[in-house]
Structure 1
Amino acid sequence: MAIRMKHLLLLSAWLVLATWGKAQTVPSPEEHFGFFMGEDYHLANYTETEAYFKKLAQTDRVRLVDIGETEEGRRQYMLIVSSPANMDNLSEYKAISTRLAYAEGIDDKEARRLASAAKAVVWIDGGLHSTEMVGTHQLIEIAYRLASGTDAETLHILDNVIVLLTHANPDGQELVANWYMRHKDPKKRAMNIPRLYQKYIGHDNNRDFYINNMKESGNMSRQLFLEWMPQIMYNHHQSAPAGAVVAGPPYTDPFNYNIDPLVMAGIDALGASMLNRLTAEGKPGFTRLKGSPFSTWYNGGLRTTTYFHNIVGLLTEIIGSPTPMRIPVVPNRLVPNGNTPNPVTPQAWHFKQSVDYSVSLNYAVLDYAARHREQVLYNSYTMGRNAIEKGSRDHWQLTPRNIDLIQANYDADLEAGTVKRDGENSSSRIPYSYYEAVFADPAKRDARAYILPADQRDFPTAVKFINALIKSGIFVHKATAGFTVDGKAYPEGSYIVKTDQAFRAHIIDMFEPQDYPNDFAYPGGPPIRPYDVAGWTLAYQMGIAFDRVLDGIDGPFERLPHGVPESPPAQRIADTKHGYLISANVNDAFIVVNDLLKTGVDVYRIPEALGDMPAGSFYVGPSGTAILKQAMLSLGLKATPVQRAPASAIKIKPARIALFDVYGGSMPSGWVRWMLEQYHFSFNLIFPQEIEAGNLKTKYDVILFIESGIPPYPGGRYGRTMPDAAELPAEYHHMIGNLSTRKSIQPLREFLEQGGSILTTGSSTRLAYHLGLPVKDALVHKTDGNDVPLGSEQFYVPGSVLRVKVNPDTDATWGMAVYADVIFNNSPVFHLRPEARSAGIEALAWFDTDKPLRSGWAWGQHHLEDGIAAFKAPVGKGHLYAYGPHITYRAQSHGTFKLLFNALYRQE
């Protein structure tokens, strides 16, 4: 019997190997591309990669999934790789993965049974930032290894893990690879691409994942948060800090307090697995913790948004280039320590070394998932269950501000003599009552739900906010009838977002202010810059009206179909002979206005309020009825019939718009390019050569400078070295050059004097100084009688949401509320000189308090009080608009879009 059993086991093993052997027929990358992945001076483009993925999909380990269209019209693919047996049951394993993640209707016993029966799901991507070509080529290499490998480790991984290999930016790979490879001489190959490697936003495609404006972001978010819910995701990037090979987990503080601690524990565990594997393989140079600047605070990146969905998100930043490079001498990287336990020495470095490191890191992650399959699956359920429980009861979040309040209250009582110090160390001897006064205060509880009233100023934009949540896997309810909560009545169609759901952390992060801790290099020293921004609360940015509900609520609510975006409620109007009014409060009004103007329908603006219509609302005659009716159905716009045309109506025409851009592409400009297309504005791009050639008013009415473009350039953003025209195709010659102060200011001045308008935001507002306008920097202090800019130790606001008061009595702010939330990133702030009033300069927005912070971090914010955030200045027959804050920030700040749109029409 023992001999027979032995023969059966041998036969079984032989059959398994025979079955796996089918996978070895797949061609290697070298056979397909003509070079190996990581060969110096060689890059694969997306056309070749897509063809290779389709070859891999012919094996029984690989399935090719089309996850959607890119912004340039290519197909974006995800490879699903696992054992043949697992591939036969993918739908079952996907259902278990999502069921555990949502954690609804499951008890602990059932969760453990499901975790035991399921396979871990791991996401690995590459190519998001397309000049970071290590990511793309490691994706090709790992796909081949998993599709063809017959070693014991690979087979164990495939038996226990479902791997999602996702190409993050097909358009960028095609552009960058073709550009780099266009020279026959390898020594001439370079990455100086002429435009952004994502059609609109380039590097900022990794800042789009809580709003999902771009098609690629939406495609990937659907797979991550609606379709698969992987337990682990790995996001490949480059480059590492100088003197290291790769930066990885665990990351530096602070981490976002909304994230479940099991996510952080998982990051630590996987970071240890990565470091262990590289060290064991003799691959030095892994740095972590304070060895790199990468944190887990920000939401919105491909990796970081996953944290708020209970996914263990991993990021590595690795060196590498198809053009060979060197690891530089960085002495403080050469001493082994906790940040860099195994330093790399200075040396020559080749592309393949980076690809090999990346493959090893992939295997470290996959091996961990295979070995700890049940644990990572069960932890997904545990985090979802924890979130549901927090949203079902009173809960107080441990935020820095509330914790500081404990100490502040105790210190105040010590000073007042109402309490005596207990022990030498006051911070460890504070009575419990001080903790309880903050963290048992009913008013400081977390919200159990958020209500978005259907009768708010701009409900179509509120629907866009709701859709951002829906695309991120959030469950949303909608009122089927009117209801009342805490004495306030809400109409039918209002939205309710309850927090008793698995992705509660993401909900809180989208509605509530971020409380970034004071973070300094040392007491009294300079602030440590956050990796991205410190505050971003999307509901604030979008200008959404909502109410926080602190107790559980129910009512005539229906839960919307999961993952299905909402449309604003269709509106209808009766025909009229006298025309219609459209409220200036609604951003989408500009879409229909632009459509009407393009078809020749007359449109007017009303300079004063009429009944419920605010100043700046649009009047459209009866000839526009058909287009209006269509917009009311598709956009949810309301049009109010009138008995007569308003006497004060001012006829408008589309302005001829020029949007400034540069060789290589400007991300802020690219975001606005996308916005203008979404709102149906026609425009042209304008580059330095055309500006400096002058005669601008014959072609344009408005020129837009978004965040920069006016010299001198902060941090060298546009001071990049331009390629030689002889090295460029003729189609890119018009892009070459940077604006110069000597050559550009006079043509811009002439454009204004002849009746043109220039709109500037951020650092481009320095044009006001070049023009000699009577304004000055507000963020200064006096030293020896001179104005000196405030140092970062005195004033520092790194990407946060601040509140400004808005001047409602000017056409630039039509449709705006009295207060607006703006993104402020150490932005310009002004004071008007005494002669500014007589010069006709209007303040459009200003800080009317010494505490304008709404979300993020604002050190020394009292310096902002009475500072002008935005103004409008006449220059000859034209006007300069200067907006210090980022009114078009990453196409997220819908609450301030009108400050741009209002300037994009001509009045007759």
Structure 2
Amino acid sequence: MRNKFYCLLTLPLLSAVMAWGQTVPSPKEHFGFNIGDDYKLANYTQTAAYFKKLAASDRTQLVDIGMTEEGRHQYMLIVSSPENIKNLKRYKELSQQLAHAKGLTDEQARSLAAEGKSVIWIDGGLHATEVVGAHQLIETMYQLVTRTDAETMNILNNDIILLTHANPDGQELVSDWYMREADPKKRASNIPRLYEKYVGHDNNRDFYMMNMKESQNISRQLYVEWLPQIMYNHHQRGPAGSVLAGPPYRDPFNYVFDPLIVTSIDAVGAAMNNRLNVEGKPGYTQRAGSQFSTWWNGGLRTAPYFHNMIGLLTEIIGNPTPETVPLVPERLIPNGATPNPIVPQVWHFRQSIDYSVSLNYAVLDYAARYRTELLYNIYKMGRNSIDRGSRDNWTFYPKYIDSIQAVSKADKKKKDTAAAAAEGEEGGEFSFGREDTIANKYYSMILKDPKLRDARAYIIPADQPDFPTAIRFLNALILSGIEVQKAPAAFTAGGKSYPAGSYIVRTDQAFRPHVIDMFEPQDHPNDFQYPGGPPIRPYDAAGWTLAFQMGIKFDRILDAVDGQFQQVPYGELQSPPKQSVAAAKVGYLIDPRINNAFIVVNDLLKAGVKVYRIPAGGAYYIPVAAKAQAILEKDAADFGITVTGTDQKPAALTALSPMKIAIWNNYGGSIPAGWMLWLMEQYHFSAEFIYSKAIDAGGLKKKYDVIIFPTGAIPDTGKPKRAPRMGGNESKPPKPEDLPAQYRGWLGKINADTSIPQLKKFLEEGGEIVTIGTSTNLAYHLKLPVQSALMEKNSKGVMKPLAGSKYYIPGSLLTASLDTTAVENYGMPASNDVYFDRSPVFKLSGEAGGIKKLMWFPTDKPLHSGWAWGQQYLKDGVAAFVAPVGKGKLYAFGPEITFRGQSHSTFKLLFNQLYKQN
């Protein structure tokens, strides 16, 4: 009887659901093909239209999360049961309360977890040439909206799913480019430019800085609005010989994480792998089977770890043009990394879509099964963070462990062997596994040293020279969901006085790992394939501390900070204090240490206003004029620039005028060039791209005053005459005849035979060239009297680059010294951190007439954040110089002085070179 009643009750409901499913157009009905059909891609215009059709369902809510860099709407489709959709506001509140963990007891948290729903983020399309991502998103939406099986209904009842398109602009470009060919066999994804307007592939390197609009839109949903317990970021390309790489990931993980992050990734990863194995879908590899770790912050998948969220990444194979799974013999042997190998075979796009949907369902099913556990655990991690930030705490960094071992070894030399063994410092015949132990006293001696405690708070004083940049740093924290406080009045902390308007970032908050990571140096372990062997390359950077990159002045406070502070509402961006411009009799002065000063200078010059620099220090001087007054007042208010009046004209002045600026680029798009163009726009410089064919054609001085070569443009003199590809498109460039005419001039590379002579002529005629990173190779092409400082003689007496076992510095922050008297370094301090990524370092010849050293490494320990093996080789090495070439100048900056729009503290090293000075 009970079963009969149940059927009578549910049949009408199921009929209604099935009827709804019949009214929702299938992907084939909407797009004209099935998602995953060979040689077929949907563009974003079509996809957005389909999202809107799905939004008619009572299982969905469509949210416009913001505009993209090219002006498209970026959509997130929320999918859940109709009842949950009606109560989204309440479930969002519960998710926020549990993630922030503030003011909750464990009992209250358990009650809220029982009431709440799992919130799971699934995205697609971030890297637009990885076309599986956007298309699996479409298919997953359709299946969740229309399926009525028991698993789907359970998922909808227990989960709230945030299905988000990560890069609308890119999908439009890539799909339109692929589908433009009438012959399917000729379709390819060798797009002409970056698939994110400025940064291409680096749109997945922007998630603690959030320079791009898409990053801002996504981060607001992740860290301010919804705070999901799980986020899943879809990517390509799987390691050769496998179908995909997924969680769990290889070591090292970041030491600031709560351990629950690591074990939770393992648990969800096991569910994903199991699902594929149950469904007979081999080829999943994990841990050491791929390059992916959880060390680095800044990616769409990795930044969530620092917010107590389970971040998932899969990298899968697949394209609309069928491909082949290649034979990689060692991958055919089952092991812990690849327990279910796949054999070589032809692979179709639909197979990747099916795998991706299965993986999504594995995650969603896990979240539905363990709903209360996930909700409680994110609270627990937040609570643990609050507790750690409320008391004395020590993080076990490798440098501290190394100190323990060093002190122990030093003591051993002072003791006889018998005494050392008695303390347990050496194993004997019957030590039973205690061979590596040392006395416990060293733990207290090092790891309980009061000076090595974690900070309780960081204070950012309002009276620092470049406060507008400090505000930009704070906004990056705020967009990451960090709790920030502001002082309405002057206060004292740690025996120091701070002015009103200063900001306080406390560590007794749920997202403490992210706070620590943005202020403290990263301490990457020495990671080698085997002792004495080559280093294991980090997934991305080894060190990135944003406060260091941006040159923020802050104080690290080890004890509790109390005061009548105002909490900035979560997600509420700050603006620098609006400055007014006092009347002046003769002129105005602007501090050269302020980055935003370049905005003002460029606005003035474009308006025809005279601007000068004072040779002693580089301050800007603007004579009194009505037009100048109007621009200064507007920019002082908009950009927080302090403008002071002066009643006396400086004795010595250098007039500034704008330059015609070109930035090298290539077919497919150079990511560093894209960042450079974005940076130029942010600071109101006028610039345009120049391609190799235009360089080879000559006549450069008639068109430009300065050419900027970001890293990757100029080839090594000892390598083939083609620079490494830096764009988001890894396909082979097409033939000119296969391209629309507008793109044919973009083909080609800098060539030693044709390009370098034209660049030399440009310099000799008075042009200037700025080179960064590997593009400083131009100095060698020009045969300037400089050489690499990172060479040594081998056994045959031949100079060779240092071996990786001796010297290896991946992306890290090193402290360099600068010549503050140099015009090129105006506004810079005598010591500053630089972003160094296996960057060039130079030695200047004793006869280097006219070459001026701008920046160098004065010590054998310049590492500030990251990993630097063999850093002693850097001592006295030159990091930057300027050299005269004919009437012109070549600027060579080894470090990445404009790195990803993050390294604000070194922007001046570029900007200072972009004016004519008379």
CA distance in 1, matches of 2:723, 2:811: 16
**Cα deviations across residues 599-637 of structure 1 (Å, max 9, x unaligned)?**
1111111111xxxxx434343433311111111111111
Question: Residues 65-100 of structure 1: CA distance to partner in whole angstroms, max 9, x if unpaired?
Answer: 000000000000000000001011000001000110
Aligned match of 2:310 in 309, 312, 317? 312
SS in 2 for 1:79: strand
Correspondent of 1:482 among 460, 481, 490: 490
Gaps of 5+ in 1: 609-613
- 1:272-351 alignment, distance < 5 Å: 272-351=270-349
CA distance in 2, matches of 1:717, 1:671: 12
1:57-96 equivalences under 5 Å are 57-96=55-94
**CA positional deviation for 1:456:** 1.1
Corresponding position of 1:631: 635
Q: What letter corresponds to residue 10 of structure 1 in structure 2?
A: C
Q: Which of 726, 729, 733 is the aligned partner of 2:737?
A: 726
How far apart in 1 are the matches of 2:586 and 2:642?
Answer: 16
Q: Which amino acid aligns with 1:827?
A: S
| Pair 1:711-2:715 in alignment | yes
Measure the CA separation in 1 of the matches of 2:128 and 2:621: 43
CA distance in 2, matches of 1:104, 1:20: 40
Runs (4+) off by over 6 Å: none
Question: Is the CA contact 2:825–2:912 (under 8 Å) kept in the aligned structure 1?
Answer: yes
Indicate whether 1:683 and 2:687 are aligned.
yes
Q: Out of 827, 839, 844, which is 1:832 matched to?
A: 844
Instruction: Please report how far the alpha carbon of residue 429 of structure 1 lies from its aligned counterpart in structure 2 after TM superposition.
Output: 2.6
Partner of 1:803: 815
Does the residue aligned with 2:468 lie in a helix, a strand or coil?
helix
Q: TM-score, normalised by structure 2?
A: 0.96
Once the two structures are superposed, residues 483-513 of structure 1 have per-residue CA deviations (whole angstroms, 9 ceiling, x without a partner) of: 1222221111111100000000000000001
Query: Matches of 1:284 and 1:652 in 2, distance apart?
Result: 64
Once the two structures are overlaid, the 10-residue window that deviates more, 257-266 or 438-447, is 257-266
CA distance in 2, matches of 1:748, 1:129: 34
1:896 to 878, 893, 906: 906
- Most deviating of 661-670 and 712-721: 712-721
**Structure 2 counterpart SS, 1:742:** coil
Q: Which amino acid aligns with 2:899?
A: Y
422, 429, 444: which is aligned to 2:437? 429
User: Could you tell me which amino acid in structure 2 is paired with residue 458 of structure 1?
Assistant: D
State the partner residue of 1:569.
Answer: 577
Mapping 1:168-567, distance limit 5 Å: 168-417=166-415, 420-421=420-421, 422=424, 423-424=426-427, 428-567=436-575
In the alignment, the residues of structure 2 paired with residue 110 and residue 262 of structure 1 have an alpha-carbon distance, to the nearest angstrom, of: 20
Name the CA distance, whole Å, in 2 between partners of 1:17 and 1:803: 66
What secondary structure does 2:815 align onto? strand
Please tell me the residue identity of whatever aligns with 1:449: A
Change (3 A) 1:334 1:6: closer
- Hey, what's the Cα distance between the residues in 1 that align with 2:437 and 2:744? 69
The yes-or-no answer on 1:621 pairing with 2:629 is no
RMSD of aligned Cα (Å): 1.3
User: Are the counterparts in 1 of residues 671 and 726 from structure 2 also a CA contact under 8 Å?
Assistant: no
- What is residue 655 of structure 1 aligned with on the other side? 659
Residues 619, 649 of structure 1: 8 Å contact kept:
no
Structure 2 counterpart of 1:17: 14
Structure 2 residue aligned with 1:780: 791
Q: Percent identity?
A: 59
Match of 2:878 among 868, 876, 880: 868
**Amino acid aligned to 2:736:** A
Q: C-alpha distance in 2, partners of 1:776/1:109?
A: 66
CA distance 1:721–1:125, shift in 2 (3 Å) = closer
Match status 1:698 vs 2:697: no
Q: In structure 2, what is the equivalent of residue 152 of structure 1? A: 150
CA distance in 1, matches of 2:660, 2:618: 24
Comparing 451-460 with 719-728, which one deviates more in the overlay?
A: 719-728
1:466, 1:317 → 2: CA distance? 33
Aligned counterparts of 1:414 and 1:881: Cα–Cα separation in 2:
52
C-alpha distance in 2 between matches for 1:722 and 1:368:
43
> Is the CA contact 1:285–1:344 (under 8 Å) kept in the aligned structure 2?
yes
* Structure 2 portions without partners, runs of 5+: 428-432, 717-721
**What's the offset of the Cα at 1:716?**
5.4
Report the Cα offset of residue 649 of structure 1: 1.3
> Which residue identity does 2:239 align to in structure 1?
P
User: Secondary structure in 1 aligned to 2:270?
Assistant: helix
- Counterpart of 1:815 (choices 806, 811, 827) is 827
Q: What does residue 744 of structure 1 align with? A: 755
Q: Which amino acid counterpart does residue 627 of structure 1 have in structure 2?
A: I
Could you tell me whether the CA contact under 8 Å between 2:663 and 2:690 is conserved in 1? Answer: yes
Q: Hey, what's the Cα distance between the residues in 2 that align with 1:619 and 1:861?
A: 44
Query: 1:103 — aligned with what?
Result: 101
Q: Contact conserved, 1:77 with 1:166, CA < 8 A, in 2?
A: yes
Does 1:887 pair with 2:897? yes
The alpha carbon displacement at 1:832 in A equals 0.5
Matches within 5 A, 1:569-648: 569-608=577-616, 614-623=617-626, 624-648=628-652
Maintained 8 Å contact 2:492/2:498: yes
The correspondence for 2:806, drawn from 791, 794, 804, is: 794
In structure 2, which of residues 814, 837, 861 is the aligned counterpart of residue 851 of structure 1? 861
- How much does 1:848 deviate? 0.4
Query: Counterpart of 2:868 in structure 1: which amino acid?
Result: A
1:562 CA drift (Å): 1.6
Give, in whole Å, the separation in 2 of the partners of 1:350 and 1:694. 47
Is the deviation greater in 516-525 or in 557-566? 557-566
More off after superposition, 225-234 vs 478-487 = 478-487
Instruction: Compute the TM-score of the two structures, normalised by the length of structure 1.
Output: 0.98
Structure 2 CA distance, aligned partners of 1:810 and 1:622?
A: 30
Q: How many angstroms apart in 1 are the aligned matches of 2:731 and 2:828?
A: 38
